[in-house]
Amino acid sequence: MNNLKKGQVIGVVSPAGFIKDGEDLSKAIKLLESWGLKVKLGKHVFSKYKHFAGTDSQRAADFQQFLDDDSIHGIWCARGGYGSVRLLDHLDFSKFKRKPKWIIGYSDITVFHHVAQSIGVESIHAIMPTSLDAITESDSAKTSFRIAMFGSHLSYKFKANNYNRIGSASGKIVGGNLAIIASMLGSKYALDTKGNILFIEEIGEYKYSIDRMLQSLKLNGYFEQCNGLILGSFTNIKKNDPEFGLSIEELVLDLVKEYDFPVCFDFKAGHIANNNALIFGRKAMLEVDQNKVQLLFEDE
């Protein structure tokens, strides 16, 4: 991957949900410009068609233009929601594969991370323009995003969760939003977890639904040759009656009890304000001990 340099251009597109009232891109533009980057907005970035930011063909046209445009050095998705998967049959990634550029976002944008991983291209799981207003507790989400884009050394060290399973692992970081990962099972874009470290996060699901999706990954062999597992944020978990009876940590540990890879809970990434950046498709070292967790990305 070619790391960004000052003066280069980031394209901002809306491949999924529309930009809602009260959401704007001014903070995102100012942030990129403060880092010496230029910004180009997709033609339909502010469009609205039913649930989506424009029709499928409009959203795909914006995305394809930025995939193919050599003057664009990164594609930053304005927001998630739902709709990215509807674009895949309309997109051609052949030039992108020859001349890759950053694709940036999280949640529904996991669809494009899957595509990138399937063709051996790195991408960035990080904050999106419409989520900047929520970043109040820490600047680390912005800082890690900048480090990832510009190619400085990206690493994390934080206090261990009591449920963590101790061990060390190396491999490429792959994954994203659990619901999207599960929805891509059986497709040509399904994840390859062999020798890799799987990251997952989720929002707004029942525990039984989370368990069902994880069981589906297990049935598809996702954990058999996985080197490590990182759990990001699991927020706004819905309550059901009767109660599921297990915490997220307990259901995960029960799921992977026959495997010996390290498991890290509560990594600060996903649907939280302090959504720290991860470079998907890049090799990293995960170290989990009783007191701390370290995640060290290799320099390109």
The model's pLDDT over 218-266, given as tens digits with 9 standing for 90+, comes to 999 999 999 999 999 999 999 988 999 999 999 999 999 999 999 999 9
pTM of the model: 0.96
Give the model's pLDDT for residue 21: 82
Cis peptide before 262 (omega within 30 of 0): no
**Burial readout 259-269 (b: 16 or more C-beta within 10 A, e: otherwise):** bebbbbbbbbb
Q: Which of 61, 75, 67 is nearest to 32 (CA)?
A: 75
C-alpha count within 13 angstroms, C-beta hemisphere, residue 253: 13
Q: Which of 159, 140, 96 is nearest to 122 (CA)?
A: 96
Give the model's pLDDT for residue 133: 74
Listed as ranges, residues in the chain with pLDDT below 70 are: 1, 134-138
Give the model's pLDDT for residue 11: 98
Rounded-to-integer distance, Cα 272 and Cα 269, Å: 7
Give the model's pLDDT for residue 190: 97
Give the model's pLDDT for residue 136: 54
Rounded-to-integer distance, Cα 283 and Cα 195, Å: 10
Give the model's pLDDT for residue 93: 98
Give the model's pLDDT for residue 138: 59
Give the model's pLDDT for residue 152: 85
Give the model's pLDDT for residue 141: 93
Give the model's pLDDT for residue 174: 98
Domains of the chain: 9-150 (3.40.50.10740), 155-297 (3.50.30.60)
Rounded-to-integer distance, Cα 277 and Cα 181, Å: 18
Question: Which distant-in-sequence residues (6+ apart) come within 8 Å of 71 by Cβ?
Answer: 9
Rounded-to-integer distance, Cα 289 and Cα 280, Å: 23
Residue with tokens 């995305």: 63
CA 46 from chain centre, in angstroms, equals 22
